A = this chain, B = another copy of it.
Amino acid sequence: MNAMNAPADTQPRIDQRPVPQFLLDALQQRFGAQYSSAQAVREQHGRDEGSIQAPPPAAVVFAESTQDVQDAVRLAAQHAVPVIAYGAGSSLEGHLLAVQGGISIDVGRMNRVLSIDADDLTVTVQPGITRKQLNEAIKDSGLFFPIDPGADASIGGMSATRASGTNAVRYGSMRENVLALEVVTASGDIIRTGTRAKKSSAGYDLTRLMVGSEGTLGIFTEVTLRLYPLPEAVSAAICSFPSIEAAVRTVIQTIQLGVPIARVELIDVHSVRMVNAHSKLTLREEPMLLMEFHGTPAGVQEQAETVQQIASEHGGQAFEWASTPEERTRLWTARHNAYFAAVQSRPGCRCISTDTCVPISRLADALLDSVAEAEASGIPYFLVGHVGDGNFHFGYLIDPNAPEERERAEALNHKLVARALRLGGTCTGEHGVGVHKMGFLVDEAGAGAVDMMRAIKQALDPQNILNPGKIFTL
């Protein structure tokens, strides 16, 4: 496809399949108090943190075991009824919307750590555990799990969307950090993908196929992850710049030099203002980089000196250091709350979040024109970015009751994505496709590659019951 899809495509096609009453009865019979068809529960499970809405699922099952998930899927499969896995509800692209109806399977109660294999730097968990719960559970092991999307997302959901976050520049995304999965398939069978070995050439990489499949190829019931030794030394610094361009050029040069920086986040002046208001901080209201260095004490110092020198050449201020763990936590919490700070800055708004990611040399090209377009649009917005990976997010804060605002914001998003694709990038670095980016996916991957995805989906889920209506239309 050469032409970019029209903004109207970002609205999902709602076509809820009938859910027979005897299926609901059978689920209630099997699950008792773990089953709910209450309106409030259904509505809570029928939305995510994104801007798009759809009618809720017909019922919710609160799974507490792999067997529960298996039984729920088998019952639904008998009647060709959709099943949608639900973790923490923090996805952004409409992943959880019951656009074809069906049952929500909430795995939030499956939040146990099954085994910490500290000697192998691995951990196996149930999918409902959140990233913060996980790090709390392993804190005595001397290890940590680095992947940190903005929300306190579930590990299952992070795996399903191939999430990343601020540490990905050094530690990779869920693509690199999920070693193995237990998966309930569309027929309700259980398979295991991968092993705890660090690498393998044993057949098709089903683990990587499942990671990022957004619940459309199977429901994850166990996830084995890589862990990392807590760095001996950690230093965090902020550095203000006279312009976004100066900050971005600093990042490009840092990455090109191969500095193993652990985190390098761009925060624009709008975000700084919003974060200051929300988190009671007094950050200087200029574009800034928020950085973290991990390593030995000498290594951290070496890295920081190199980056400080690059920053100075681009007009950056002297680094302000957050040296205690408490100060660091405060800074990074503020960064992670940027999204919520922004949403609160315009009461009643919804946020349309962009997610392009480009090769690092193209970062300035991808960003600066889009900043100019956003400024000119009159839509309130903010910009944050995992810029070390070439990934950044504009958040357009729209009035959900003003369709012309949504249209203007989606038009900005389309221009941004088209630009990123021209520069060799992707429409989504970490949020996934969901219902919102299906048109962008075709623009990016081409019809042939999307057809290949469809063929895989049809082979593994012939009744199209696993989170249907996401990633592509069938």
Contact = CB atoms under 8 A, between A and B. Distances in A.
Interface stretch (A28-36, A131-139, A278-286, A354-362): A354-362
Interface in A218-268: 228-229, 231, 252, 255-258
A156 to B, nearest CB: 15
A201 interface: yes
Contacts of A195: 421, 424-426, 444
Interface in A340-385: 355, 357-362
Nearest to A224: B424
Nearest to A420: B197
A202 B427 contact: yes
A14 B191 CA distance: 30
Contacts of A448: 185, 189-191
A433 B203 CA distance: 6
A128 interface: no
B361 A120 contact: yes
A277 interface: no
Interface in A138-192: 161-164, 168, 172-173, 175-176, 185, 189-192
Contacts of A211: 205
Interface stretch (A2-10, A47-55, A294-302, A318-326): A294-302
A122 interface: yes
A204 B257 contact: no
Nearest to A306: B296
Given A201-B429, A203-B445, 6 more contacts: A120-B362, A121-B360, A196-B425, A201-B428, A201-B430, A202-B445
B196 A424 contact: yes
Contact of A203 (B201, B228, B296, B472): B472
Interface string A413-456: 00000000100111111111100010011001110111011011
9 contacts: A117-B361, A119-B252, A172-B199, A195-B421, A197-B390, A201-B355, A203-B450, A296-B299, A456-B460
A155 to B, nearest CB: 16
A101 interface: no
A433 B298 CA distance: 44
Interface residues of A, number: 90
Nearest to A187: B448
Contact of A208 (B175, B299, B389, B424): B175
B360 A120 contact: yes
Contact of A202 (B199, B295, B360, B428): B428
A208 B199 CA distance: 13
A455 B359 CA distance: 34
Max chain B Cβ within 10 angstroms of own Cβ: one of A162, A173, A449, A455? A449
Contacts of A456: 204, 209, 456, 459-460
A200 B428 contact: yes
Given A425-B195, A446-B191, A162 B201 contact: yes
A441 B256 contact: no
A458 interface: yes
B445 A455 contact: no
A121 B256 contact: yes
Contacts of A425: 195-197
Max chain B Cβ within 10 angstroms of own Cβ: one of A198, A299, A456? A198
Contacts of A437: 202
Given A198-B390, A302-B299, A444-B195, A119 B212 contact: no
